[in-house]
Every structure is written in C-alpha cells, then in structure tokens.
Amino acid sequence: METRRPARQLHPAAACELTSRGRRHPEPAHAYRSAFQRDRDRVLHSSAFRRLVYKTQVFINHEGDLYRTRLTHSLEVAQVARTVAASLGIDEVLTEAICLAHDLGHTPFGHAGQDALDHCMKRWGGFEHNLQSLRVVDELEERYAQFPGLNLTYETREGILKHCSKRHARGLGDLGERFLRRRQPGLEAQLANIADEIAWSHHDLDDGLRAGLITVEELAEVRLFRDHDRPARGGRARLSRRVRIHAAVRAMLDHVVTDLIGASRARLERSSPASIEAVRAQARPLIGLSPPVAAAHQQLKVFLRQHLYRHERVLARNRRAQALLQALFECFMNDVRAMPREHADRALAWERDQGENGRARAVADYIAGMTDRYAAAAYRRLVDPGLDW
C-alpha cells in the first residue's frame, strides 16, 4: 500500500514571505495567496508561458506530437524540483514559480535559435536566453496598469537568473551582485537549477530513443543506463522496447533524484545555515548531487551532446533554423515596419533614445518571443514562401 510520508518542517533557510526582499513595485498583500503563490500564478497566466508549447526543446514541434516542448520541459522541471523541495522542507511554491519561469526567454528553435540570435546581436550587446527570461518577467509582459512586466518577488527573479555574464551583471543591481562576488542564490533557486539539468538529461534521452537517433545498444557505455536497465526489467526477458526504455529512464531518474535529496540534506546538516541570507553568503551551492552521481550524470550529458545534440539530423535542422532567424533579423533591422505595429513603434522609440542598440534590442525581443511556427510563417511571408516547415 502507498503511504504518505509526514510533511517535514520548513527548513530555517527556506525562503519565506516574511524575509522576502520584496517586489520592485510594492503591492499590498493578497487576502489568501502568499507572495510566492502570486508569482507562480502570474507566470502561469503570462502569454510567454503559453507560447512555450510551440517552442523547441530538442525536436521541433511538427517532428512529432509526443516529443517534449519547452512547456512540457518546464512542467517536468517543476515536478522534479517540487518533489525535492517538499522532501528537504524548502519552499515548494517558490521552487515551482522559478521552474515554470526559467525558460520564458527562450527563442524559437531551442539552443540553435539562441546561438543565432546571440550571433546577430554581437554588435549590440549579445543575447542570453537566461537574461531574456528575466527581461520577460521584468519588462516585456504587458498585463498591469501600474508597472511593466509581472513585478515578481526578488526570490523568484533571483532564481530565474541562473547564469549571467559579468558585463551584464554590473547593470543588474542587487540581482547581479552574486555573479560579481561569486555567491549563491537561495536554496529554491539552487534546486530549480539542478532540477533543470536532471529533467532535460532524462527526457531528452527518452525523446532521442523514441526518435531513433540514439539506440539502447549505444547506451551501454552510459553508466547510469547500464546500472538501471537490467534491474528495471525485473527479470522479464521479453519486454517491449517502449516499456524497457520507460522502466530504465524512470529508475535512473529515481536514483538521481534520491541522491540529490540525500546529498543536499547532508550538506544542509553540515553547514546548517540559519537563514536564506546565510545561504546567499556561501561560495558553493548546498543543493546538489553527491560527487559519484554527479560524475555519472555528467557522463550522461556528454553522451547526449555527442550522440543526440550533434546528430547529423539535429545539426542539419539547426543550420536551417539559424539561417531562418538570421534572415528574419536582417529583414527587421532593415525595415522595422515589417514587424507588427507595437514592435515597430517600440523599435523606433528605443532607437531615438539609445541609437541603433535600441532598434536591435527591440528586434531581438520580437524574435525571441516567437514560437517555432510563428517564425516559420514570418519567414514564408517575408523571405521565401517556399519554406517547407
């Protein structure tokens, strides 16, 4: 019979509404929702969140209905992270809010799209999808009369900004400080970060197998798979390939998540931070895998890089996606009126204020917000009606 473990007490270093560094624009408390619940709900209701359903994780949406998209990726990250948060006694709702928001700034066509846009923006400050996620919640979502963006709490914004170049960190005030001083964010942010890696490595493996780009035989070199494939079959010699893959991936995920909980708990006990500020003052993260499981997980990620992300079929598709985004970027830079009115007006206004930088940033914001199919439709309309995507 399934039995539920009793809920643990909240850890003293968990994020807490009472010690929150607050919102950029102060707001009165809600009658029955906590600040972090409101953050999560604002992310969920944002238009950037809905667009994630048509943004590539690894496989383009039309390549098959069963592959992960940015949306299902974000939900799987939240699922992994919430399990761990509940077990460690850190704030589950804040963790969920960060996970759901972490990829809001992703371009169409996955990492290929991000690299293409970064390349296009080289002369104008570059493009970082992580920074863009923050930009979406801070500036680009238009939902409130009183302020731009979603006005999320500091803790959620801190979690969204996982990486940041020093150059950009200098312009971010409080939020950028930890990248300059090499300090850590709160526990919920640390957890969302590692849950992202655990979720994508396992679901991309599953999708890669489904697509036939990697094989079970090749996976024999991956320790995590080798260790879990046979026991997961439970002594059954004749299992369908599908059940075998699901059983192995599920056992791997369970093993890695269980290790994450155990190793993080041990670190928390050793360093016993008394508050979120004590966590932020540390040089190294407290939430993370044990060294042996981290090494095994790293081996899985390297395998995926070599066999899946650099598979000729994926690379060929990425090259097309990059050429497509580059053509769109040039098209809008040459004629901002080729964008919808509000984006064109913004580009012209920012150009008046900031010169060409402003125009380029408005174009990058517009392109980054596109879904895969919206980008393909724009390309057909403006560049080549014969595009067969």
Minimal distance in Å, beta carbon 200 to Mg ion?
Answer: 6
Minimum CB–partner distance for residue 260 and Mg ion (Å): 16
Least distance between Mg ion and beta carbon 196 (Å): 4
Considering the complex, state which of residue 106 and residue 359 has its C-beta at the smaller distance from Mg ion: 106
Taking the complex as a whole, how short is the minimal distance between the CB of residue 32 and Mg ion, in angstroms?
31
Binders of Mg ion among 85-144, rule CB under 5 A? 103
Name the minimum Å distance from CB 106 to Mg ion: 8
Cα–Cα distances in angstroms (integers) from residue 22 to residues 27, 35, 188, 238, 318, in the given order: 9, 9, 16, 56, 40
Number of residues that bind Mg ion (CB under 5 A): 2
List Cα–Cα distances, 82 to 91, 122, 125, 317, in angstroms.
Answer: 9, 37, 35, 34
Measured from the CB of residue 101, what is the shortest distance to Mg ion in angstroms?
10
217: DSSP letter: T
Closest to Mg ion by CB, 136 vs 276, is 136
Question: With respect to Mg ion, which residue has the nearer C-beta, 256 or 362?
Answer: 256
Taking the least distance from each CB to Mg ion, the nearer of 103 and 155 is: 103
Contacts of 28 (CB under 8 A, 6+ apart): none
Q: Which of residues 188 and 196 has its CB atom nearest to Mg ion in the complex?
A: 196
Q: How far is the CB of 369 from Mg ion (least distance, A)?
A: 17
Residue showing the smallest CB distance to Mg ion in the complex: 196
CA 165/CA 126 separation, integer angstroms? 11
What residue spans of the chain are helical by DSSP H? 35-44, 47-51, 70-88, 92-101, 110-120, 129-135, 154-160, 166-169, 174-181, 187-211, 223-232, 241-271, 276-280, 291-304, 312-334, 341-354, 356-368, 372-382
- Which of 122/163 has CB closer to Mg ion? 163
What residue type is assigned to position 243 of the chain? V
Q: Taking the complex as a whole, how short is the minimal distance between the CB of residue 75 and Mg ion, in angstroms? A: 11
CA neighbor of 268 nearest in space, from 4, 9, 21: 9
* Window 185-214: residues binding Mg ion (CB under 5 A): 196
Q: For 248, phi and psi rounded to 5 degrees?
A: -70, -45
Burial letters 11-46, b for 16+ CB under 10 A, else e: bebbbbbeebeebeeeeeeeeeebbbbbbbbbbeeb
Cα gap 92→310, rounded to integer Å: 35
Return the number of the residue (141 or 196) whose C-beta is nearest Mg ion: 196
96 or 103, CB closer to Mg ion?
103
- Interatomic CA distance for residues 267 and 282, integer angstroms: 12
What part of residues 343-382 is at the interface with Mg ion (CB under 5 A)?
none
Cα separation, 268 vs 287, whole angstroms: 8
Q: For residue 142, count other CB atoms closer than 10 A to its CB.
A: 12
Beta carbon of residue 199, minimum distance to Mg ion (angstroms, whole number): 7
The nearer residue to Mg ion, 196 or 365, going by C-beta atoms, is 196
Binding residues (CB under 5 A) for Mg ion: these are 103, 196
